[in-house]
Amino acid sequence: MQTYLIANPKGGVGKSTLATNLAGYFSRIGHRVMLGDIDRQQSSRAWLALRSPSLPPIANWDLAGDSPAKPPKDTTHVVLDTPAGLHGKALTKVLKQATRVIVPLQASIFDIIATRDFLQQLAEEKASRKNQEQAFVAIVAMRVDPRTRAAGQLERFLDDTQLPVIAHLRDTQTYVQAAAHGLSIFDLSAARGGQDWAQWQPLIAWLNR
């Protein structure tokens, strides 16, 4: 079972957008995917409640009595949407469960400063996984054009962390409009979602390495 952790200690950076659309992608290509929401706001869980049964299925936690929540049987891919402020022992615990960690990050100096220590902890976790693949953590630049000065500033900041920016996702209402109906961009027609599908391709290629 592959577990993908969507994490950033700062709120409002696009964790739920990334998590719901990643789950939508895995579901669309036929994987048995669970979207697990461990954020108090439960944004991803609310999105699941809006999702039509006619769409490719995305499961939620399997809750049985007083037993701990767990992925349903036969789940192949787990996407975890995490809360703001995740750090310390709680972060260490979920990192140990993760196959890959994806960090949504906006190209704002405030977001960069708020994320610095978190990225350092991820870099240390990556370094400790000596017998595993190097590509354990990646950054997705949210709501940013890679041709802008802001994107360049983000790249320069990340040089010290040696964590790659895998993809740049544009600032568009397509994500907002799709989410309002329980859809991912991968549930849209090519006419509506094609431009955004293209921006996801580097991230998808990284996940499939």
pLDDT of 24: 97
Q: What does the domain layout of the chain look like in residue ranges? A: 2-207
Average pLDDT taken over every residue of the chain: 85
Predicted TM-score (pTM) of this structure: 0.88
> Which region among 28-32, 40-44, 58-62 has the lowest average model confidence (pLDDT)?
40-44
Most confidently predicted of 36-50, 57-71, 98-112, 118-132: 98-112
Gap between the Cα atoms of 204 and 208, Å rounded: 6
pLDDT at 136: 83
Q: Could you identify the residue written with the tokens 């600032």?
A: 171
Report the C-alpha gap between 181 and 200 in whole angstroms: 21
* Residue 61: CA count within 13 A, CB half-sphere: 15
Most confident region among 59-63, 68-72, 149-153, 199-203 by mean pLDDT: 199-203
For 2-207, give the CATH class: alpha beta
Q: What is the pLDDT of residues 73-85, one digit of tens each?
A: 899 999 998 877 7
Q: What is the pLDDT of residue 6?
A: 94
Taking a C-beta distance cutoff of 8 angstroms, is the pair 180, 50 a contact? yes
C-beta neighbour count of 46 within 10 angstroms? 14
